[in-house]
Structure 1
Amino acid sequence: MHWITIIVIGIAANLDNLGISLAYGVKQTKIPISSNIIIALISAIVTYIAVIAGGTIIEYISPSTASLLGSLLLCAIGLWTLLSNLFSKQESLKNPDLIDKDKNHIISSREAITLGFILSANCLAGGIGIGANGISATWTVISIGLFSILTVGIGSHFGYMLTKTFIGKYSNYISGFMLILIGIYEIFA
Structure 2
Amino acid sequence: MGITTFTFLFVIALSIDSFGIGCVLGMKKISLSLRGILTIAFLSGAGFMVSSYMGALILPIVHPDYAERVGALALIGIGLYFLYQYFRKPDHSQKKEPWSQPARVLNDPVAADVDQSGGIKGKEVWLLGAALSLDTLGAGISGAFMGVEPFVTALWISIITFIMLYAGILSGAKLSEKAESVSIVPAVLLITIGIIKLT
TM-score (norm. length: structure 2) = 0.86
Distance 2:43 2:190 in 1: 20
Q: Residue in 2 aligned with 1:32? A: 33
Structure 1 residue 146 and structure 2 residue 159: aligned?
yes
Deviation at 1:16, TM superposition (A): 2.3
Quick one: which amino acid aligns to residue 114 of structure 1? L
Mapped contact 2:17–2:185 kept (Cα < 8 A): no
Q: Residue in 2 aligned with 1:80? A: 81
Q: Residue in 2 aligned with 1:134? A: 147
Distance 2:40 2:124 in 1: 10
Look up the SS of the partner of 2:57 in the other structure. Answer: helix
Q: Residue in 2 aligned with 1:184? A: 195
**Root mean square deviation of aligned Cα:** 1.8
Query: For structure 1, which segment, 106-115 or 141-150, has the greater mean C-alpha deviation from structure 2 after superposition?
Result: 106-115
> Cα deviation per residue 1:19-48 (whole Å; 9 max; x = unaligned)?
211111001112111000110111111100
Q: Residue in 2 aligned with 1:170? A: 181
Greater share of residues in helix:
1
Unaligned ranges ≥5, structure 2: 91-100
> Cα deviation per residue 1:152-187 (whole Å; 9 max; x = unaligned)?
10110100111223xx23223211110011112223
The number of aligned residues is 186
> Cα deviation per residue 1:39-78 (whole Å; 9 max; x = unaligned)?
0111111100111122222211222211110011111111
Unaligned ranges ≥5, structure 1: none
Mapped contact 1:53–1:128 kept (Cα < 8 A): yes
Q: Indicate which of 112, 127, 131 corresponds to 1:114.
A: 127
Identity across the alignment (%): 24
Distance 1:19 1:98 in 2: 15
Deviation at 1:89, TM superposition (A): 5.4
